[in-house]
Amino acid sequence: MAEALFRDLVKDRPDYEVGSAGVAAAPGMPASKHTTAILREKGLLRPDFASRMLDEDMLRAATHVFAMSSHHLAAIEDEFPEHADKVYLVSEFVADDSLRGKDVSDPFGAGRAAYDDTLADLEAMLPSLVAYIDQTHKE
């Protein structure tokens, strides 16, 4: 869901390349049924989406990496310490004090309401990432 929403935010920005991967993902899995429904409703569904595990090549190519939770951030920093300087929490730069530093909940296995809550959090958090990248990234 986060990848699709972020991709939409920067759809007119050829200087952005967006991807996602998990720290404990089962490779090749499609998005969950509720994520699929939400993205379809928003016109953002990519039928070719498949989960994949984060790896060294992805991190080497990335300028910024955003983790959904502090647990994910710690796992990335632990497994790939040489890339720790480009890993941030997805909520790290949001202006709303009630959201800054908050983990984005993984609604997997929960009902649609949990997915809608995650959607709301992501929609509030992701624009701050674009602003941060634009302020800090140099070609």
Q: What are the tens digits of pLDDT across the range 95-134?
A: 999 999 999 999 998 999 999 999 999 999 999 999 999 9
Helix (H) or strand (E) holding 125: helix 112-136
Helix (H) or strand (E) holding 67: strand 65-67
- Region of residue 131 (left: phi > 0; alpha: psi -120 to 50; beta: else): alpha
Q: What are the tens digits of pLDDT across the range 29-73?
A: 999 999 999 999 999 999 899 999 999 999 999 999 999 999 999
Instruction: Please report the pLDDT score of residue 8 as a whole number.
Output: 98
Domains and CATH numbers, the chain: 2-136 (3.40.50.2300)
For residues 66 and 54, give the distance between their C-alpha atoms in angstroms, rounded to a whole number: 12
Read off the pTM. 0.94
pLDDT(138) > 90: no
